[in-house]
Structure 1
Amino acid sequence: MTARITRPTGIPLWMQIETTLSREILSRKLTGRLPNEQALAERFSVNRHTVRQAIQSLQQKGLIRIERGRGTFVQEEMIAYRLGKSSRFSHSLSDQHLVSDVDIQSSHFEPASEPVANLLQIAPGNPVLRVESLDLADGKVVSVCTQYFPLPRFDGFIDIYRASRSTSDAFKNFGIASFQRVLSRISARLPNPEVAAALRQGKQQPVLYIESVYADTNGAPIEYGITRFSGDSVQIEVLPEGL
């Protein structure tokens, strides 16, 4: 099947091809061995050099691997985390037909540090609920999370969270049917030993470190979260409505 490439947009042809193939890989429409360069060139009505540029970009992003003598293969374990104003990681997993789950490791109350207090717009030292958990996709740990919820607004939140295994569902029990992401910060950091062990990776291998703040419809912050992903298994996509 020939795919239409919109040439007048000003976006290079190889980039348009790379975007198309990336979406097919992340949605699991394209799996296993990738068609060879000639087949892809015919599909997109371009020359093989243009296809080769797209393939190189996909390889650099970790979406595919090239095995000498065998061909080019999709990295099946790559997961897309689509950052949008109202989306959470579980939404991205559901879109990719992956079963999401949360393994709550611990929870306790503590006084908010100044950085946490600033992000939640509360006074330093005010109590917050801190939750440590693991995000799972089809039973595999894909991220290590720390979440902070302001108190006393969310007194009793942890019991509902443990039962529902969903932050969004727990929020609904507090009358918050909708919310939005008001801050996202993405950086690369070296993991501590506990995070590296949970993600089953080396301590010298950086993780994607994502900080998020969510607010209710009145603009009041309801959660500050830190999520650490293995860079080899998760790709971050920032949606236009999430900018």
Structure 2
Amino acid sequence: MGRSALWTAIRDTLLTEITNGHYPPGARLPTEAQLSDRFNVNRHTVRRALAALADSEIVHARRGAGVFVRHVPTPYPIGRRVRFHQNIQAAGHIPEKRVLNLETRLANVHERKALKLGAQAKVHIYEGVSISDNVPLAFFCSAFPAGRFPDMLEALAENGSVTAAFRRHGVTDYVRQSTEITGKIASQIHASLLELRPGDPILRTIGINVDAFERPIELGRTWFAADRVTLTLSETG
């Protein structure tokens, strides 16, 4: 069997196993060394087979972690009530949030306008990565009026739940007032956080949440890996 047939045979074998669910979406494939031993070939041949699968967008490599089966796009409703954990669990996946930054600072011009704040007002900033089945879906950055929610950062540090943090401050329900969706390309920072390549497509949403009296309480900016979510708009959700 020629060298060309070897790597194509390995590619086809792995593709069949992926298709049959042996390696489900988000699963890590065996290492190059393990595949080399399994097929009795050198790593260069294995690497070529994996590269072919990557070119077909069936798998993707995560630096320092291995090669993973691409995630089937997760349905993600955007409506009146956007709740990350509920959306991910409803799609049959396991949600997780990785907190990257919690800080208080002066609000910038955009935040003051969206949250209807004064010139010297401060905001609490909550940044992190939303994860589904160990696969990063989105990077998020939320701003909250610091004056109204003095203990917001402490509450978020406990479990990362915005809903629980609002409830601690007496806000039992909140809804999305507006959502703006824009197609972008991944910057170096976003690519690193979402395990993408710089220039890969992403979707940025900017949303404003309000309380029962329609007072703005959160400005949320989220950058989704475009091939991992299907954003659906709902008038009632």
- Is this a same-fold pair by TM over 0.5? yes
**Contact 2:130 2:139 (C-alpha < 8 Å) held by counterparts:** yes
> Which residue is equivalent to 2:126?
131
In the alignment, structure 1 segments of 5+ residues that lack a partner are: 1-31, 34-64, 68-74
**Contact 1:101 1:165 (C-alpha < 8 Å) held by counterparts:** no
Counterpart among 183, 193, 205 of residue 188 in structure 1: 183
1:116 aligns with 2:111: yes
1: CA distance, partners of 2:211 / 2:221: 18
CA 1:95–1:157: 2 relative to 1, 3 Å: same
Q: Which amino acid aligns with 1:175?
A: G
1: CA distance, partners of 2:198 / 2:119: 32
Counterpart among 148, 158, 163 of residue 153 in structure 1: 148
Q: Which amino acid aligns with 1:195?
A: H
Q: Which amino acid aligns with 2:107?
A: A
Deviation at 1:156, TM superposition (A): 1.5
Q: TM-score normalized by structure 2?
A: 0.68
1: CA distance, partners of 2:71 / 2:113: 39
Q: Which amino acid aligns with 2:126?
A: V
> Which residue is equivalent to 1:49?
none
Q: TM-score normalized by structure 1?
A: 0.67
1: CA distance, partners of 2:215 / 2:167: 15
Q: How many residues align?
A: 174
1:208 aligns with 2:203: yes
Sequence identity of aligned pairs in percent?
A: 19
1:233 aligns with 2:233: no
CA 1:131–1:76: 2 relative to 1, 3 Å: closer
Counterpart among 76, 80, 96 of residue 81 in structure 1: 76
Matching of residues 100-111 of structure 1 within 5 Å: 100-111=95-106
Post-superposition CA distance 1:169-219 (Å, at most 9, x none) = 111111111110001000011222111111111111121001111011011
Q: Give the aligned CA root-mean-square deviation in angstroms.
A: 2.1
Deviation at 1:151, TM superposition (A): 1.4
2: CA distance, partners of 1:66 / 1:119: 38
Matching of residues 23-38 of structure 1 within 5 Å: none
Post-superposition CA distance 1:63-110 (Å, at most 9, x none) = xx999xxxxxxx752111101101222221010121212111111111
CA 1:120–1:77: 2 relative to 1, 3 Å: same
Q: Which amino acid aligns with 1:226?
A: R
Q: Which amino acid aligns with 2:178?
A: L
2: CA distance, partners of 1:210 / 1:188: 9
CA 1:127–1:97: 2 relative to 1, 3 Å: same
